[in-house]
Structure 1
Amino acid sequence: MTENPKTLLGLNVINGFTWPPHVHDDTPDNIHNFKVREDDVFVLTYPKSGIHWTQTLVENILFEGNSDKIKKDSESNPLGPIELGDNFKKYESFSTEKPRVIMSHAPVDVLPKQLLEGKGKVVFVIRNPKDNLVSYWNFLKDRQNLEEYEQWDSCFEASLRADMLYGNWFDFNLPYYEHHRNKKNFLFLTYEEMELDHKGCVVRICEFLSRPLSEEQVDKVVENTTFSNMKANKHVLCFQGKGIVGDWKTRFTVAQNERFDAICNQRMEGTALAKRIVFEI
């Protein structure tokens, strides 16, 4: 365990929440006041929980698995999370001819207020916190100006604090799930469910979006969104990682695992989310 981890460099703390450096001071307010369209689909996750996989699933469903149309749309609208840079302005300029698929890692108090009022739809994916952290560290360790996250031990320590980049897993996911899981315009899936029953989750998203597909179209969506096919398609935005459930076992020490389990049990006790989190399948 690393004591006194290095001071964070290059991040932006706004109203007590830690954002990446390319989030502007006025961005949280701009997102909160973002004008939501009735057919908007927001894909929300904590970082490294499958946001690009889910976004690709949604796009495939909207285009009925038509690879050529998906590729053309992705190449013309290659945007990442709404909070980064001026992406919110670019999303605002999208055509009204098709639903916007908007990605974000924004915490619940920054989410567009119209979404919370029931306008638009949200597909929210939660990944078990151990695998999530290992994947997050693999992503962060090579980022410039994030020295605290270069070493596994210091990143592990940082992940338990509220000032972690995008907050810690519990502070981010629990408010969403505990308070919004029964809202009609929210669909909550877990990364592990998507791994275990890929086709079943595609069907659930189709039903949620009121986009019925034929059996053949569903199969095409599933084929297009396997990890191997996504990695082969350059138009799939920033697809990274192994996506292995249980990969945390290759990184957590015995002591770290015991400590994390204790914290996890304490934070999750009595929550509805606790019943859905699994660490291996």
Structure 2
Amino acid sequence: MTDKPKPFFGVNVINGFKWPPLVRDTNPEQIANFKVREDDVFVLTYPKAGTHWAQELVRNILCKGNKDKVKEDYANSSAGGGPIEFFDTCEKFDSFSTEKPRVMMTHAPVDVLPKQILEGKGKVVFVNRNPKDIAVSYWHFLLETHFLEEYQEWDSFFEAYLKTDMMYGTWFDYNLPYYEQHRNKKNFLFLTYEEMKLDHKGCVVRICDFLSRPLSEEQVDKVVENTTFSTMKATKKKFNVTRKGVVGDWKTRFTVAQNERFDAIYNQRMEGSALAKRIIFET
């Protein structure tokens, strides 16, 4: 007897936008109207841009590098650990105590982000990553999550990744509006995955300053130690959210033709953008 092929979960299309199937029809509106608290911290990224890493950095900073306190304070209050757009995550966060900051992650596009954030309430740590490495990391992740058949083979995924109807939209359509419209807002901190790799400790200090959470040198070092790639890789999760953690992994998948084609699109879409100066494809 042969095993039945694993079914595809599909995606959920809401107002013409492709979301993972874990997003309910009412979730986008619910997110937009989410009541933000002054001490809320949102980790905001396009998928596979370093979301979980940034989230762990924030959690460790708020707990001053105390690993036991991180586990105690947040392991049971992460509302499932997924993005706020999934299932009833917003309702769960609404019920959380006001005694400590809520740390939430999301891949919501700019027109769905809670309106109160755009009005200056709460704080956002936004992490970007070069789009080629995201493509490879995203593909590996989608192989496991099994959403659509077109995401299963690299070549077909590459084609889907370039289309405007890609799940969560294209890298360009997602990141450019955020950066161009909000990079100078006081409640937004923009980092890149590559900056975090090149200067892990420096980025910890930048997040501390942004959140007004000064730490001692020893506490900063503990945060860095707790959030190294090897430490996070050893943490068991339902899905493999940490794979290689390197810059330049796109070279393992992009063909010469694909790279040339992507570069042409990238150069066209990024012309005149301030974001282009911060994107690096290899170190």
**Aligned residue number for residue 189 of structure 1:** 191
**Aligned residue number for residue 163 of structure 1:** 165
**Aligned residue number for residue 134 of structure 1:** 136
**Aligned residue number for residue 3 of structure 2:** none
The letter for the 1-side match of 2:246 is I
Q: Deviations over 1:201-236 (max 9, x none)?
A: 000000000000000000000000001111223479
CA distance in 2, matches of 1:21, 1:65: 35
**Aligned residue number for residue 179 of structure 1:** 181
Aligned counterpart for 2:102 among listed residues 87, 95, 100: 100
Counterparts of 1:197-212 in structure 2, within 5 Å, are 197-212=199-214
Q: Is 1:241 aligned with 2:243?
A: yes
3-state SS, counterpart of residue 34 of structure 1: coil
Are 1:75 and 1:235, in contact at CA under 8 Å, matched by a contact in 2?
no
3-state SS, counterpart of residue 142 of structure 1: helix
Given the superposition, is the C-alpha separation of residues 59 and 238 from structure 1 closer, same or farther in structure 2, using an over 3 Å criterion?
A: farther
Given the superposition, is the C-alpha separation of residues 75 and 166 from structure 1 closer, same or farther in structure 2, using an over 3 Å criterion?
A: same
Aligned counterpart for 1:213 among listed residues 190, 212, 215: 215
**Aligned residue number for residue 38 of structure 1:** 38
Are 1:56 and 1:236, in contact at CA under 8 Å, matched by a contact in 2?
no
**Aligned residue number for residue 151 of structure 2:** 149
Ranges of 4+ aligned residues in structure 1 off by more than 6 Å = none
CA distance in 2, matches of 1:144, 1:256: 23
**Aligned residue number for residue 25 of structure 1:** 25
CA distance in 1, matches of 2:67, 2:239: 15
Long gaps (5+) in structure 1: 1-7
- Name the TM-score, length of structure 1 as normaliser: 0.95
Alignment size in residue pairs? 274
Q: CA RMSD in A?
A: 1.4
The letter for the 1-side match of 2:75 is E
**Aligned residue number for residue 11 of structure 1:** 11
CA distance in 2, matches of 1:172, 1:11: 18
The letter for the 2-side match of 1:251 is R
The letter for the 2-side match of 1:242 is K
The letter for the 1-side match of 2:22 is H
Q: CA deviation at 1:67?
A: 0.6
**Aligned residue number for residue 253 of structure 2:** 251
CA distance in 1, matches of 2:246, 2:239: 19
Long gaps (5+) in structure 2: 1-7
Q: Deviations over 1:223-250 (max 9, x none)?
A: 0000111122347996421111000001
Q: CA deviation at 1:142?
A: 2.6
Q: CA deviation at 1:16?
A: 1.5
CA distance in 2, matches of 1:264, 1:180: 21
Q: Deviations over 1:42-62 (max 9, x none)?
A: 000000000000000000000
